[in-house]
Structure 1
Amino acid sequence: MSDEIKQSVSHIEDAADEKPTIEEASTAEVFIEPSVDAKIATLKEIVGPDRVALEKKLVRRLDYMILPALQIIYILNYLDRTNIGTARLGTLEEDTNLHGTQYNTVIAIFFVGYVLMQVFTNLLLNKVRPSIFLPCVMICWATVSACSGAVQSYGGWIAVRFILGFVESPFFAGSVFLLSSWYTKKELASRIALMYVASQMSGAFGGLIGEAILGRFSHDNLGIAAWRWLFIIEGVITIPVAICAMFILPDFPHNTKWLSEQERALAQLRIIEEANREDNYETQSLKKGFTDAFKDPALYMIWILQLSICTAAGVNAYFPTIVQTLGYGRTKTLLLTVPPWIVSALWSIATCFSSDKHKERFGHIMVSLVIALVGFIIAASTMNIAARYVSMIMMLMIYGGLTTAWSWASTTLSRPPAKRAVSIAFINAFSNISSTYSSYFYPKSSGPRYLQGMALNIGFTALAIVFTIITKAYLVYRNKKLQQANEEDLAVEGKRGGSKSTALADKWYCDPHYRFTT
C-alpha cells in the first residue's frame, strides 16, 4: 500500500476515537424498535466492554482489506473501459474503418449495456456473496475487453462495447452498496472517495501505460497492431487480480468469514445503532425495496444532480483528444494527461475527507462544481495553451462533487438495504446514461476548441448547481419536520420519539431523532 493511502487510512482511524457530541449522545438512547433493542443488547454482550479499542481495530482492518482491493479493481475497471480513448491515438479508426460519428456511437453503446443490468444486479447483490459475485464480474469484463483487440469492423465494435457495458455494470454500484453496508455515515464519504479516486488515477496511469504499450508495440509485433495489444494486455492482467479478490473482499457484516464472531457482532452493531433499525439481508423483500426507492423524492433529486455532473464529466472519455488540442505529439499528449488526473484525485480525497469531518455535503459539492464551471468557461473562451491546460485541470475537479454526491445518496437513501441497493444502482445507471448522448458533444469537426462540448458542459454544470441547492433545501425540510414532530410528541405524550415522529420516521425509514446530512 502506498504511503499516501496509509496516511489517508491513518487519518480515517483517528475518526474512530472521536467522542460523540452532546447532541449525538442525547439521541443515542432514544426510541428504538423493540426487536432491534433486543438485537442490540445481544450484540453488545458479544462485543464486551472494550468497545472503543475493538472498534478502532475493526475499522482499521476493514480499511486495509477493503479499500486497497476496491482501488486496484476500480483502476482495472476504468482502464478496460476507457482504454479505447488511448487506442484512438493509434490506428484504431483506420484499421477498423470507422468514419464520421461512428467512433462516438461506439463510445455511447457501452452505456446502453451498462444501464440495462444495473438495478437488477444490485438487487441480486443484496442476496448473494459480494466476495464471489464481484470477482466473477471482473473476469467477465476482462475477457470481453481482451477480445476488443480482435475487432475488425464498426459492427464488431458495437457488439463488443455493448457486452462490455453489460458485464461491467454491477461493479461500481455494487462497490458503493458494499461500503455502505460496513461504514457509518460519518465514515462513508471518505471511503467512497478513496475508492473512486482510483478512476482518476486510472486516467493518469492509462496515459502512461498506453504510451508504453503503443510505443513498445509500434512495429506490429506478431502482425498485431499496437492498439490491439493495448486491449489484450490490459484485459488479461485483470483476471489474476479477480481471483485474488475472492479471498480479500468481505461479504456482509453478519457473514464475513475472515472476521471473528466478536468483530462481526461489532460490525452489525455499528450499522444498527446508527439507524436504530436492523439490516436483514435475507428476509427483506426485493419488491418492497424497489417500491420504497421509487416513492422517495430524494431519489430523483440526487439522480438529476448526478446525471448533470456525469454529463459534464463525460469529457473524460475524450480527455486525450482535448489535451491533443494543445498541439503536441502523441507521447507528450499522453504524458500531459497525467497531472490533471492526479490533481483531480487529490482534490476528491481532500473534499470528501473534509465533508466527513464537518458532516456537510452541500458546500463541498458546490465548491467543486463552481471550479469546474470556471474551467469549462475558460476552455470555451480561449486557445491560449497555458490557459487551456489550467482549464483542463479545473474541469476534472468536478469529480470532487461527484464523489461527495455519492455519499449524499448513500446516507440519504440508506435504509432498508434493498432500498439502498435499488437507489444506488438506479442513480449510477441512469446518471451514466448521460454518456449515450455526451459522446456526441465532441465531434472532430468542432475541434480544436470543441466549443459545442464546452458550452453544453457549462449548461449541465449549472444544472447540477441548481439541483444541489434543491436537494439541500429538501433535506433541511425533512429535518425540520422531524424536529417539529418530536416537539409535538413532547407536548402531547411527554416524550420525544412518540407516535407522530415515529410515523414520520417510518415514512423515511429512519429513527425519529435521526437527522439527514445536508
Structure 2
Amino acid sequence: MFPGSVFMRAVPAYLQLGFATAAFGSFVCAMSAARNLSTLYALRFLVGVGQAFVQISGLYLTLWYTRREVAFRGAIIFSSATLAGAFSGLIAYAVGDTLTVGNSGRAPWQWLFLIEGVIAIAFGLVAAALLPRYPDRLQHTKHWLFSQAEIQLVLERTAAWNTKGAKTSWRQVWTTLTDPKSYSFALLNSATGLTLSTTGVFLPTFIKQLGYSDVNAQLFSVIPYAFAFAAMLTISYISDKLNLKGPFMVCGFAMSATGYIVLLTDHTALAGMVAACLIISGTYTSIVLGVAWLGINNAGFTKRASTWALAEVFAQAFAIMGIQLYGKGSPRFITGHSTVLAFQVLAIIVAVAMMIAFRHLNRKRDRILEEYAARGEAHPHLERTLEEECDFHVNFRYTL
C-alpha cells in the first residue's frame, strides 16, 4: 500500500491501476491450477500485492474533482465492489449448477478462479489503455478525451486543495506519522475492514437456514449487496450535496451496529438476512465516505497518500484479526459479532470526536485570521502553499 500510494505521482495511475488489476487477475487464474498448499499461499500473497496497488483509485479522484464531489464519484467506483459481491453469487450459482467435474473436467472452484480472473485481466487492460494521466501532466499536450480548456478548468477547480506539480515529500510522510488525525482515520478504516473481511464468513450460514442448498444459497447472497449498492450511492450523493461526511459515517456505522445487535438477539434466518442487509449497506457506505473524508481533510499530496496507506495497513491487520475471530463459534459467532459490534460503537465515538475537533480547529483559524486582519498584518501562511504547510495551513478548513 505505502509504495503504491506515496509514489503515485511518479508512476502514472493508468499504468498502476491497469497493470495491477491485470496482474491480480493473472494470479487469480493461476490459483485454479494450484496443486499444493505452498503454491496456493504464494499465489495468494501475489494477489494481495496486486490488490494493494489497486487501492489508489480514491487518491486518483482527488486530483480531478473538488472536495464536494469526491464521495459520490468514489461511490460510483466502489459500487462495482457491491456489484461484484452480487455477481460473484450469481456466477457461483451458475458455475456450481452447470460446470461440475463430471461434465467439464474441472472443479467448480477452479472455474470460478478462471472466470473471475479473466474478467479482472480484461478490465485491467482497458483501464491501462483509457485512463488519463494526472491533469497537471496533461497541460500543453494533446489528449483524445479532454481539450486544453477542460484540463485548465480541472486545475482551477481543484487548486483549493491540490498544488500543481506536487512531488513525493518525505517530510510529509513524517508529518503523517506524527499527526493524531492519521490514527483516527486509521481506526475508522479498521472498523470497516474488520466488518468487510468477516461478512462472507457468516452470511452463508443463515441463508442455508432458509432451507436452500449450497448452490441456491449463493443466489440469495445477492440480496444484501443489492441493498448496499443503493444505500451507498444515495447516501454518498446526499453527503456531497450537504458537504458533510462525519454525520453520514456515523449513520453507516450505526446501521452496521444495528445489524450486529439483530444477529446477537434474534437467531431466525429472516432476521439474519435483514441484519446482513444493514451490515453490508452500512459497511460499504462507511468505506466510501471514509476514503472521501480522509482525502478532503488532508492537504499536501504525500500526506494524503501516506495517511491513506496507513489507514489501509490498519484495515488489513484488523481483517486478519476478524478471520481469526470467526474461526469458531458457528453458526452463532457470538464472540465475533460482539467484537465487531464493539468496534462499530468505537468508530461512532471517534467520528463524533473528529467532527468536534474539526469544528474547533476551523473556528480557531477564523479567529487567528481575524486577529491578523485587525492588526493590519498578513499571516505568514499566506505566502506558503498547501504542499509546504499541509492541512495546517491557516486558510485550510476541515469538512465535518
TM norm structure 1:
0.71
**What's 2:191 paired with?**
308
Aligned ranges 1:83-162 → 2 under 5 Å: 118-162=1-45
Q: Letter of the 1:266 partner, please give it.
A: L
Q: Letter of the 2:62 partner, please give it.
A: S
**What's 1:383 paired with?**
267
Q: Letter of the 2:371 partner, please give it.
A: E
Instruction: Find the aligned partners of 1:279 and 1:424 in 2 and give their Cα distance.
Output: 20
Structure 2, gaps ≥5 residues long: none
Change (3 A) 1:124 1:378: same
Q: CA deviation at 1:332?
A: 2.5
Match status 1:239 vs 2:126: no
Answer whether contact 2:92 2:215 (CA < 8 A) is retained. Answer: no
Answer whether contact 1:126 1:421 (CA < 8 A) is retained. Answer: no
Instruction: Find the aligned partners of 1:235 and 1:500 in 2 and give their Cα distance.
Output: 50
Answer whether contact 1:372 1:397 (CA < 8 A) is retained. Answer: yes
Q: CA deviation at 1:364?
A: 0.7
SS in 1 for 2:135: coil
Instruction: Find the aligned partners of 1:344 and 1:319 in 2 and give their Cα distance.
Output: 17
SS in 2 for 1:439: helix
Structure 1, gaps ≥5 residues long: 1-117
Answer whether contact 1:325 1:448 (CA < 8 A) is retained. Answer: no
Aligned ranges 1:134-283 → 2 under 5 Å: 134-172=17-55, 174-256=56-138, 257-258=143-144, 259-272=146-159, 274-275=160-161, 278-281=163-166
Answer whether contact 2:72 2:233 (CA < 8 A) is retained. Answer: yes
Q: CA deviation at 1:395?
A: 1.2
Residues matched between the structures, number: 392
Instruction: Find the aligned partners of 1:455 and 1:431 in 2 and give their Cα distance.
Output: 18
- Superposed CA deviations along residues 305-326 of structure 1, whole A, max 9, x for unmatched, are 1112221232233254344452
- Superposed CA deviations along residues 71-127 of structure 1, whole A, max 9, x for unmatched, are xxxxxxxxxxxxxxxxxxxxxxxxxxxxxxxxxxxxxxxxxxxxxxx0112122221
Q: CA deviation at 1:336?
A: 1.2
Q: CA deviation at 1:285?
A: 3.8
Change (3 A) 1:319 1:383: closer
Q: CA deviation at 1:207?
A: 0.1
**What's 2:359 paired with?**
476
- Superposed CA deviations along residues 205-242 of structure 1, whole A, max 9, x for unmatched, are 11001111122212344532111111012112322322
Change (3 A) 1:339 1:323: same
Instruction: Find the aligned partners of 1:396 and 1:425 in 2 and give their Cα distance.
Output: 23
CA RMSD for the aligned pairs?
2.2
- Superposed CA deviations along residues 353-405 of structure 1, whole A, max 9, x for unmatched, are 11111111121111121121111011112222222211111111222122112
Instruction: Find the aligned partners of 1:241 and 1:392 in 2 and give their Cα distance.
Output: 29
Answer whether contact 1:207 1:334 (CA < 8 A) is retained. Answer: yes
Q: Letter of the 2:157 partner, please give it.
A: R
Instruction: Find the aligned partners of 2:39 and 2:203 in 1 and give their Cα distance.
Output: 23
Match of 1:485 among 368, 379, 398: 368
Q: CA deviation at 1:511?
A: 5.3
Answer whether contact 1:136 1:242 (CA < 8 A) is retained. Answer: yes
Answer whether contact 1:149 1:232 (CA < 8 A) is retained. Answer: yes
SS in 2 for 1:434: helix
Answer whether contact 2:75 2:232 (CA < 8 A) is retained. Answer: yes
Q: CA deviation at 1:507?
A: 4.2
TM norm structure 2:
0.92
Aligned ranges 1:322-401 → 2 under 5 Å: 322-326=205-209, 327-398=211-282, 399-401=284-286
**What's 1:421 paired with?**
305
Instruction: Find the aligned partners of 2:313 and 2:63 in 1 and give their Cα distance.
Output: 20
Aligned ranges 1:477-516 → 2 under 5 Å: 477-493=360-376, 498-499=379-380, 507-509=389-391, 512-516=394-398
**What's 2:341 paired with?**
458
Q: Letter of the 2:155 partner, please give it.
A: Q
Q: Letter of the 1:267 partner, please give it.
A: V
Q: Letter of the 1:400 partner, please give it.
A: T
Answer whether contact 1:325 1:447 (CA < 8 A) is retained. Answer: no
Q: CA deviation at 1:295?
A: 2.9
Greater than 4 Å deviation, 4+ residue runs: 500-508
Instruction: Find the aligned partners of 1:468 and 1:509 in 2 and give their Cα distance.
Output: 18
497-506 or 258-267: bigger deviation: 497-506
